Structure formats: structure tokens, C-alpha cells
């Protein structure tokens, strides 16, 4: 069937059923943080009266089924359904950070065509998809949407500051500021990202820019996906105006329609808490964890009687450390004297390495004031009154959750948007310390933890409390994120009809 005929059929179906509930298909990139944010977005749309299909890759769909009660979730969310699509990779592929280009290549080479066929075959269903919301790092979905004739909105799950810096890459290349290799002066100033001229350094840009040539595949990927995002009619961002307003003004020069609806996790909780009793008893936030959550750590947290005394440690869903680095962190945490709750994923330690043995003293000190867990309910932990600090990889979900909970951070970023997030945490928002590119030897870790939990405790908590109030204000009725969500839902209704 040719493209024009297909478009006419889609348009005719929309005209024939103007009063039907819009059907939105939400398609995240197959990574834990992307899935988390976009599933919460899907649930917000359901609360707004829309029908939503959440599309995962088959690999991640199977993992979610293994570790979460999806069937119970479906019964609580009658407007939400789940579908799966192949990512084109063999079952044994690790889908790990060091192989992330494989994922992008396969999505474009294999999933794109399957996605197109899914939308075409769905046009004959009683409730065909009337709007797409796709992850902003999978802009091949824009091509498919335009071909099939379905409106598309792009959602970026990373920070606005990261997205804006990626949009500026062409100019940075043209002026010779990027790429740069690891032996360059990493504290050298970057002057060509508007809004960041006074504080941005080489080390604060994505680690993907630490390459020999601008033709490097990773550089080309993040630049191309950012530029292609501007082809969409509108953009959803998981941020809020009081947090990234100055940067958002620059992005609006490239994309006129932007819906800032963050922090999404907090907006969803607020909407659920304030919904009608009949709704609140059936709808609760659904989990999309790719690992089994161990809630025994909450009992341990309850036993900590001193407020804000515990350091929470988690490096997210992708980052890995060597065995040597793990032991240095472990000794540093123990030596700091602070109680700590540490998430150590089963796949988080890379390589063999010597790393030393677990001494009797280390084991005893950990039993006295530490708790290790493979995967944990992060939002609950950060909201716990015993938690007073967060040693984090600076992923955007973690950053927003920490800001909303009023928990200061130590940032030790790994890749992507995390480098620039950590700079904004320390230099712009003043809600944490940046440990970027520092050696993670035990002395450094101990010093940074003591500075966060003792030396700068009052100063950082004061700044965090102020930023938390901004975040809470934006999700209340009449707040910027609250209103932007309402506008998004109405625009979807209008576009779909």
C-alpha cells in the first residue's frame, strides 16, 4: 500500500470516530531509566482519561513480567495495556553499556520495520493508535509516524541541560572545541553553549565527546538524535521550569511546543493521591524494574533512629565498577563512619581484578553500620527520614528523585547526560558535590562522604530544601508541571480528533 493511501485511511478513520477516546502508544528506549519515566507518563495519561498502550522490547517485557506483577497492574489500570516488539538482538546479547551501539543499530535495522508493520496492521483494529509518544533517542519513529500519518510527540527522559548541550555539538565541532581526548585540559572552559558560558568545562560534557575525531560513531549518534528531535512537532521533558528555566528558553528557540511535566514520579504520586476515591483504590503506580526488588532494606532503614544519618549509594541500572574500585568504595564508606545502604547489582562489577579479599574488619564494620542489597525501591529509600545523602551516578531520574526528596548528592557520573547533570547539581543548583573524574580511592571516598554528611551538611540541606519546595510547588494544582500535563492531554485529544 502506498504512503498517501495509508495516510488517507488513517485520517478517514479519525473523522469517522471523532468522539472516541484517543489511543496513545508510548514507546521508550529499552533502558531501565527510560522505561521508568515513560511508564509513569503513560499512567498520567491514563489518569487523564486516555487509552494507552506501552510498547517494550520483548527482552525487557519478559524481564518485567519476571520481576513485577503486571497482570495485577493491568487490573488496576483498565486504560493501560502492554505490548512487546523485538529489538532484533539475539537472546544471549548482554545489552550492556559497553555494547550500547549494538542496541541502536539493531533498533534502526530491525525494529523500525517491525514498528511500521505494527502500526499499519493496527489501522484495522476497533481502536487504532491515534497518537505516538516515542523516546527522543529513537527518532526513527518520527519517520515511521510521518509515513503512516499518525501524530507524534517526542519524549526526552534526560535533562534539558544535557539535551541543549547535544544540540550545540555542531557548533562546538565547527569551532574546534570538540572532540577532545582524555589527555586534554579537562578543566578548559567551553564557551559556546548558550546559558552555560560561565561554568561549563570539557569534563562536564558527555564522555562520548572524548574521542579522536568528530566522525566517531558515538558523537554522531548523540548529535544526530538531538537534531532529529527538532523535527517533531512537540517535546515532552521530565523537568520543571524553576529547575531548568534558563536552559528551556534556549531549547524553545528550536522547538516551540514543549511540555515540562517533571518530576514525573512526583506528579504521578500527587495525581493518585488527589484522585477520586474510586480511582485511588484501584490505580497505584506500577513498577517496571528489570531486577527483583529487595525490600528488606526498608526494615533496616526503619532501625536507624537518627534522622538524615544514612548515606544511600547506588550507581543506577547500567554503570559498572571494577572489583578494585568496589573495594575502594567499600573501605571509603566504612571509614567515613556514616551508616550506609548500598545497591550492588549482580552485574555491576566488571572484570576479574584482584581487589583484595573481604577482611574480617570490613565484614564486621559493614554488619555494624552498612547494608548491601542487589536492587532496591529507590523512591521509598530517598523519602525515608533516616536518609541524609545520596552517592549517585547522576542519572536524571535519580537526580530528580533526590531533589524532590531533599537529599543532597555526591555525584560520580559515568556516561551520557550524567557528566553535565553533576555539574548543575554542584555549581548551579548547589544541592550536592561533584566527584567527577576523581580517583575513587578510599581516602577520596571517605573525604567526600564526610564533607556531605558532616562538613557541608547544613549548607547543602538548606539548598536542597529550597529546591524541593520549587519541585513540590510545580506539581500542585495550578503549578507549571500540573498545567503542562493538562495542556498535553488536551492537545492529544485535539490532535487525535
Query: Which residues are marked as active site?
Result: 34, 135
Print burial letters for 53-70: b (CB count within 10 Å at least 16), e (below 16): bbbbbbbbbebbeeebeb
Bond into 420 cis (ω within 30):
no
How many of the other CB atoms lie within 10 Å of CB of 127?
13
Strand pairing partners for 189? 201
Ramachandran assignment for 379, one of left (phi > 0), alpha (psi -120 to 50 degrees), beta (any other): alpha
d(CA 118, CA 103): 20
Cell matching residue 493: 485529544
DSSP string, 49-82: T-EEEEEEEHHHHHHHHHHS-HHHHHHH-TTEEE
Sheet holding 131-135, edge to edge: 80-85, 51-57, 23-27, 131-135, 152-156, 234-237, 257-260
The H-or-E segment that residue 434 falls in is strand 432-434
d(CA 230, CA 156): 11
DSSP string, 314-365: E-TTT--EEHHHHHHHHHHHHHH---EEEE--TT-EES--------HHHHHH
Contacts of 201 (CB under 8 A, 6+ apart): 186, 187, 188, 189, 190, 423
Amino acid at each position: 500500500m502506498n504512503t498517501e493511501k495509508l495516510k488517507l485511511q488513517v485520517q478517514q478513520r479519525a473523522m469517522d470516530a471523532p468522539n472516541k477516546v484517543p489511543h496513545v502508544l508510548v514507546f521508550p528506549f529499552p533502558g531501565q531509566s527510560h522505561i521508568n519515566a515513560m511508564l509513569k507518563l503513560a499512567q498520567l495519561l491514563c489518569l487523564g482519561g486516555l487509552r494507552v498502550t506501552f510498547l517494550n522490547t520483548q527482552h525487557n517485557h519478559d524481564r518485567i513480567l519476571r520481576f513485577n506483577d503486571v497482570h495485577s497492574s493491568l487490573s488496576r489500570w483498565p486504560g493501560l495495556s502492554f505490548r512487546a516488539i523485538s529489538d532484533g538482538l539475539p537472546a544471549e546479547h548482554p545489552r550492556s553499556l559497553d555494547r550500547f551501539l549494538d542496541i541502536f543499530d539493531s533498533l534502526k535495522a530491525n525494529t523500525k520495520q517491525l514498528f511500521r508493520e505494527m502500526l499499519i496492521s493496527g489501522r484495522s483494529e476497533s481502536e487504532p493508535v491515534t497518537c505516538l509518544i516515542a523516546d527522543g533517542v529513537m527518532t526513527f519513529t518520527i519517520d515511521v509516524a510521518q509515513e503512516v500519518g499518525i501524530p507524534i510527540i517526542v519524549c526526552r527522559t534526560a535533562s534539558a541541560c544535557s539535551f541543549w548541550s547535544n544540540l550545540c555539538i555542531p557548533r562546538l565541532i565547527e569551532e574546534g572545541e570538540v572532540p577532545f581526548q582524555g589527555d586534554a585540559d579537562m578543566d578548559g572552559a567551553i564557551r559556546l553553549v548558550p546559558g552555560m558560558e560561565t561554568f561549563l568545562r570539557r569534563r562536564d560534557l558527555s564522555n562520548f565527546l572524548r574521542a579522536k575525531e568528530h566522525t566517531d560513531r558515538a558523537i554522531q549518534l548523540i548529535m544526530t538524535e538531538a537534531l532529529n528531535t527538532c523535527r517533531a512537532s512537540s517535546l515532552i521533558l521530565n523537568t520543571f521550569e524553576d529547575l531548568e528555566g534558563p536552559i528551556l528558553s534556549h531549547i524553545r528557540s528550536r522547538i516551540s511546543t514543549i511540555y515540562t511535566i517533571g518530576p514525573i514520579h512526583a506528579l504521578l504520586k500527587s495525581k493518585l493521591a488527589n484522585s477520586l476515591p474510586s480511582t485511588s483504590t484501584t490505580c497505584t503506580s506500577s513498577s517496571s524494574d528489570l531486577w527483583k526488588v529487595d525490600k528488606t532494606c526498608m526494615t533496616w532503614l526503619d532501625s536507624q533512629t537518627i534522622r538524615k544519618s544514612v548515606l544511600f549509594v547506588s550507581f543506577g541500572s547500567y554503570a559498572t565498577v571494577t572489583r578494585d574500585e568496589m573495594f575502594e568504595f567499600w573501605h571509603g564508606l566504612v571509614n567515613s563512619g556514616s551508616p550506609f545502604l548500598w545497591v550492588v547489582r549482580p552485574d555491576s562489577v566488571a572484570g576479574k581484578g584482584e581487589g583484595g579479599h573481604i577482611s574480617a574488619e570490613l565484614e564486621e564494620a559493614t554488619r555494624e553500620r552498612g547494608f548491601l542489597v542487589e536492587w532496591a525501591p529507590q523512591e521509598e529509600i530517598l523519602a525515608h527520614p533516616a536518609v541524609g545523602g545520596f552517592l549517585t551516578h547522576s542519572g536524571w531520574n535519580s537526580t530528580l528523585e533526590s531533589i524532590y526528596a531533599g537529599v543532597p548528592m555526591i555525584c560520580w557520573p559515568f556516561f551520557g547526560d550524567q557528566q553535565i547533570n553533576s555539574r548543575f547539581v554542584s555549581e548551579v543548583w548547589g544541592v550536592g558535590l561533584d566527584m567527577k573524574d576523581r580517583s575513587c580511592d578510599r581516602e577520596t571516598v571517605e573525604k567526600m562522604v564526610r564533607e556531605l554528611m558532616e562538613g557541608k551538611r547544613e549548607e547543602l540541606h538548606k539548598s536542597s530544601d529550597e529546591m524541593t519546595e520549587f519541585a513540590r510547588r510545580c506539581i500542585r494544582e495550578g503549578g507549571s508541571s500540573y498545567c503542562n500535563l493538562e495542556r498535553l492531554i488536551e492537545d492529544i485529544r485535539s490532535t487525535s480528533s
